[in-house]
Amino acid sequence: MSTETDLEYGDVKNYVDGEWSASSENGQDVLNPAMGEAIARVGFSSKEDVDVAVSVAEEAFDEWRSQPVEERIQPLFELKHLLEEHQDALAELLVQEHGKTFAEAKGELRRGIENVEVACGIPTLMQAGHVENAAPGIDETAVRQPLGVFAAVTPFNFPGMIPLWFLPYAVATGNAFILKPSEQDPLVPQRMFELIDEAGFPDGVVQLVNGSVDTVNALLEHNGVKGISFVGSTPVAKTIYAKAAANGKRVQAQGGAKNHVIVTESANLEFAAEKTIGSALACSGERCLANDVAVVEESVYEEFVDLVVEKAEQQVVGYGLDDDTTIGPLITPEHEQRVRNYVETGIQEGAELVYDGRNVVVDGYEEGNFVGPCIFRDVTTDMVIAREEIFGPVLGLMSAGGIDEAIKIVNQSDFGNAASLFTSRGAEAKTFRHEAEAGNLAVNAGTAAPMAFFHFGGQKDSFFGDLHAQAEDVVRFYTDETVYIERWPDS
Ligand code: NAD
């Protein structure tokens, strides 16, 4: 593996006006979750730090928006190559501060790079429409124009990918952009900004401001910020949505999730079990698309439970940079305790814990935040473990009479991020697509993760706003459509 990321403990820096500067002394340590060791320290930027970044961005915007669109995308082509060139080193760093496996980290970065690629197509994506002779002698054109300074506030679970759901589109459309990444794993964003610096954006067009709640509030309250993209937990998403709207900003706020997979008797059960386990346990369950409740048709329930337990037994819990590891640690000791509390709650509620990974010991990493897979059977819809987001390697199994009952269970959830169906019947798939209340649906796939050229869906308590991340939705979010009416009378 690369030595590019041999870590030396130091301060995570802000990137403002093309320069690196230490963020405030007030802050917290960044920990390697497999070792419990501090690997860096991140400062929490103050309101004054935010004021400086926003005024620099406002100034940079004036010139940037007037650059030909072809010129605005050249640094993105460069960034794509730089991200690819440094993908292994970035993935290694990601494992060190987040905990997921190296393969998962590489996959995450690939999905991020995909967004840079799609944003390179902005000359086409920005086209809005033209009607000749819309009225006698009149042509009408819609023009998509950038608005100014946008900010994104992103979560810990995909520090490499989620900033790229926004950044490339915001700048390609001609806006200036400020990222406030998660304070839990800010090193990958910092490294990506070193590459952004190399890619050749004018100073002030893309900036990095580290911080926590006060930093986010300063962005939300700043008149110079035109809009906020947020991804994180539902309670915070709701707050951001309300505050941003109250301050007259555009806002798109993606929240938490509780996703279901439905398995009907017509499904290839072996395949469905493999994909279900993969979906629930990948990234230790710390994914907003993790399907952590499986609703299985009664006639195949027992067989499916056995298959899932067999697959759970094959998992290897360990450090993400070790080759065999399939499940890494959870992000913090507090979150580990939270997941353990949910497992205890499930037992108290009467679900049967048929596979118990709580006592896993990882030799050499005794200080890590590890929890092995935990599989519950006979979960019912009233249970806390069936309703709340656990964000850990915990899968609940429940049985249902058939597709209609299963979809009813899915739709009882307060969340609407994703759902999957395993079936070999087209009619069941059609019903599922029409009836299931979630923004990302998949048939015979464990995780409904849309490619970057589709928007990333989300409904109910999983999304607040109307235009989503990625693709055309986010282009519309970052632009205003001016309607231009033109007549040339003979005079
Ligand atoms: P979080 O809500 O704790 O934090 C997200 C961001 O908000 C961070 O940058 C953090 O600094 C900031 N923040 C935290 N509390 C805040 C507050 N009170 N006011 C203002 N800003 C605040 O989320 P997390 O723990 O980092 O991430 C996990 C959550 O994100 C899960 O619920 C997961 O489902 C969700 N998520 C959703 C999606 C999606 O697409 N819907 C994608 C990834 C993660």
Each residue of 472-486: pLDDT tens digit? 999 999 999 999 999
Tokens of 409: 């269970």
CB 289 within 8 A of CB 418: yes
Same domain, 23 and 148: yes
Tokens of 11: 């301060």
In a domain, 303, yes or no: yes
Looking at the DSSP assignment, which residues form a beta bridge with residue 230? 153, 253
In a domain, 66, yes or no: yes
Instruction: Give the mean pLDDT of the chain.
Output: 96
Q: What is the model's pLDDT at position 102?
A: 98
Q: What is the model's pLDDT at position 24?
A: 73
In a domain, 488, yes or no: no
Same domain, 417 and 467: no
In a domain, 450, yes or no: no
Residue 1 has pLDDT above 70, yes or no: no
Which residues, including other chains, have CB under 8 Å from residue 371's CB and lie 6 or more apart? 284, 317, 330, 336, 339, 340, 343, 357, 358, 360, 392, 393
Q: What is the model's pLDDT at position 7?
A: 67
pLDDT tier at 2 (50, 70, 90 boundaries)? very low
Q: What is the model's pLDDT at position 3?
A: 39
Ligand 1 atom nearest to CA at 153: 9
How many other C-beta atoms are found inside a 10 Å radius of the C-beta of residue 304? 24
In a domain, 235, yes or no: yes
Rounded CA-CA distance 185/329 in Å is: 14
Same domain, 320 and 358: yes
CB 283 within 8 A of CB 107: no
Q: What is the model's pLDDT at position 237?
A: 98
Put residue 148 in one of left, alpha, beta given phi > 0 → left and psi -120 to 50 → alpha. left
Same domain, 272 and 246: no
pLDDT tens-digit map of 409-434? 999 999 999 999 999 999 999 999 99
- How many secondary structure helices (H) and strands (E) does the chain include? 17, 22
In a domain, 43, yes or no: yes
- From the candidates 120, 283, 288, 374, which is the catalytic residue? 288
CB 18 within 8 A of CB 204: yes
In a domain, 454, yes or no: no
DSSP-H helix ranges across 67-101:
69-72, 74-85, 87-98
Question: At 244, is the secondary structure helix, strand, or coil?
Answer: helix
Q: What is the model's pLDDT at position 6?
A: 57
- Residue 307 structural domain: 259-443
Q: What is the model's pLDDT at position 413?
A: 98
Site to probe by mutation for ligand 1, drawn from 26, 47, 157, 287 as the one with most ligand atoms within 8 Å of Cβ, is 157
CB 216 within 8 A of CB 180: yes
pLDDT tens-digit map of 246-300? 999 999 999 999 999 999 999 999 999 999 999 999 999 999 999 999 999 999 9
Same domain, 177 and 213: yes
DSSP one-letter code for 399: E
pLDDT tens-digit map of 281-294? 999 999 999 999 99
| Half-sphere exposure in the Cβ direction for 191 (13 Å, CA) | 25
Residue 381 has pLDDT above 70, yes or no: yes
Q: What is the model's pLDDT at position 9?
A: 77
Tell me the CATH number at 383. Answer: 3.40.309.10
Same domain, 236 and 282: no
* C-alpha of residue 374 to centroid of ligand 1, in Å: 24
Same domain, 207 and 295: no
**Atom 16 of ligand 1: nearest residue by CA position:** 213
Same domain, 234 and 275: no
- Establish whether 288 is a catalytic residue: yes
**Atom 43 of ligand 1: nearest residue by CA position:** 288
Same domain, 219 and 367: no
Residues in contact with ligand 1 by the CB-under-6-Å rule are 153-158, 180, 182-183, 212-213, 216, 231-233, 236, 239, 254-257, 288, 389, 391, 417, 456, 458, 462
> What percent of the chain has pLDDT above 70?
98
pLDDT tens-digit map of 396-406? 999 999 999 99
pLDDT tens-digit map of 119-133? 999 999 999 999 999
Put residue 133 in one of left, alpha, beta given phi > 0 → left and psi -120 to 50 → alpha. left
Tell me the CATH number at 92. Answer: 3.40.605.10
In a domain, 39, yes or no: yes
pLDDT tens-digit map of 178-226? 999 999 999 999 999 999 999 999 999 999 999 999 999 999 999 999 9
Same domain, 219 and 145: yes
Same domain, 236 and 266: no
Number of domains in the chain: 2
Same domain, 165 and 32: yes
